[in-house]
């Protein structure tokens, strides 16, 4: 018990430092607000009239929601992805300026230092995801309090997995510039190759899907874990799932544990 309390205090100290740094970063805060506004105001409003009842040859997509409603959970996930993975820049920063070395030679275990940092990044990313929830009324999404609570818990779990993934990336890249380029080449393909901006309508048969989309695109979307992560949040916020929610929940849980252990192995090398 005597050894647990100092570790908890250490985790809290590292977490608090990351939160203070995130709240003082005006650029990150501005991006967390402007990004969802641009996506919803321009892309969402622009494509909204063309979404419902779209016809492709003899196939008619039947979706019970507007495009703004469909896009809304995906924009939350995009905000979380950017904040979580970009948060790993702090690892490079700490390594570059010697702070990480000083912390790692302290009596605090390495896993506790990493846990404090990842919890800090996950909290900041969840905050950015929650900012988007304020736009729910604009997107014509009605939310009950229980949905908001469920969404925040889920967003935190997703943020934890993605922040740990960002730390893994940061351990492979040694410069700020390189990490910025590298992270964008990871985030954008993962996001666009998921079912974030267009649906794979579950009412279609396999033959109809292949008629509507190229088969390679269907395979890419189904192999992409972000597809299922977005799908779970859609189920919570607008009660619409294209895939069994258990797949997305399992992937987020496995990603949280797996990426954290991978990050721990790479951390401080």
Q: How many domains does the chain have?
A: 1
Residue 179 has pLDDT above 80, yes or no: no
3-class secondary structure, 250: helix
Tell which residue, 174, 194, 190, has the closest CA to residue 88.
Answer: 174
Residue 55 has pLDDT above 60, yes or no: no
Least confident residue range of 19-33, 70-84, 244-258? 19-33
What was the pLDDT predicted at 82?
A: 86
Q: 234 falls in which pLDDT band (50, 70, 90)?
A: very high
The mean pLDDT of 59-75, rounded to a whole number, is 75
End-to-end distance of the chain based on CA atoms, in angstroms? 30
- If one compares 41 and 203, the residue with the highest pLDDT of the two is 41
Chain segment 91-105, per-residue pLDDT in tens: 777 777 767 677 677
Q: 1 falls in which pLDDT band (50, 70, 90)?
A: low
Tokens of 38: 């641009």
The mean pLDDT of 128-135, rounded to a whole number, is 88
Cβ neighbours, 10 Å, residue 56? 12
The mean pLDDT of 243-266, rounded to a whole number, is 91
Q: d(Cα 113, Cα 132) in Å, to the nearest integer?
A: 30
What was the pLDDT predicted at 54?
A: 54
Angle, helix 89-96 to helix 176-192, in steps of 10 degrees: 170
Residue 203 has pLDDT above 70, yes or no: no
CB 126 within 8 A of CB 25: no
Q: How far is CA 78 from CA 55, 94, 168, 197, 223, in A?
A: 28, 26, 19, 11, 18
The mean pLDDT of 204-225, rounded to a whole number, is 78
Residues in the chain: 269
Residue 205 belongs to domain spanning: 3-266
Q: 57 falls in which pLDDT band (50, 70, 90)?
A: low
What was the pLDDT predicted at 192?
A: 85
Q: d(Cα 167, Cα 91) in Å, to the nearest integer?
A: 7
Residue with tokens 């409003």, as numbered in its chain = 45
CB 69 within 8 A of CB 141: yes
Q: d(Cα 58, Cα 128) in Å, to the nearest integer?
A: 41
What was the pLDDT predicted at 146?
A: 94
- If one compares 233 and 198, the residue with the highest pLDDT of the two is 233
Least confident residue range of 3-12, 46-55, 144-153? 46-55
What was the pLDDT predicted at 137?
A: 85
Q: 63 falls in which pLDDT band (50, 70, 90)?
A: low
């Amino acid at each position: 018990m005597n050894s647990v309390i100092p570790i908890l205090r250490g985790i809290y100290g590292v977490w608090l430092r990351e939160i203070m740094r995130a709240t003082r970063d005006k650029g990150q805060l501005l991006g967390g607000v402007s990004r969802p506004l641009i996506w919803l105001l321009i892309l969402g409003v622009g494509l909204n009239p063309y979404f419902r009842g779209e016809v492709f040859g003899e196939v008619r997509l039947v979706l019970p929601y507007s495009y703004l409603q469909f896009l809304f959970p995906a924009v939350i996930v995009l905000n979380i992805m950017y904040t979580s993975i970009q948060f790993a820049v702090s690892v490079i920063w700490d390594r570059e300026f010697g702070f990480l070395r000083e912390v790692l030679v302290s009596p605090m275990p390495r896993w506790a230092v990493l846990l404090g940092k990842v919890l800090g990044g996950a909290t900041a990313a969840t905050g950015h995801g929650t900012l988007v929830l304020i736009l729910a009324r604009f997107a014509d999404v009605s939310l009950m309090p229980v949905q908001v609570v469920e969404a925040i818990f889920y967003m935190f779990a997703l943020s934890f997995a993605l922040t740990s993934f960002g730390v893994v990336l940061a351990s492979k890249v040694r410069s700020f510039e390189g990490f910025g380029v590298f992270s964008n080449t990871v985030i954008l393909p993962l996001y666009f190759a998921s079912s974030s901006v267009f649906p794979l309508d579950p009412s279609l048969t396999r033959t109809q899907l292949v008629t509507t989309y190229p088969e390679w695109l269907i395979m890419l979307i189904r192999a992409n874990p972000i597809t299922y992560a977005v799908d779970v949040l859609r189920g919570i916020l607008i009660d619409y799932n294209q895939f069994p929610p258990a797949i997305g929940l399992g992937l987020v849980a496995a990603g949280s544990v797996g990426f954290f252990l991978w990050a721990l192995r790479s951390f401080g090398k």
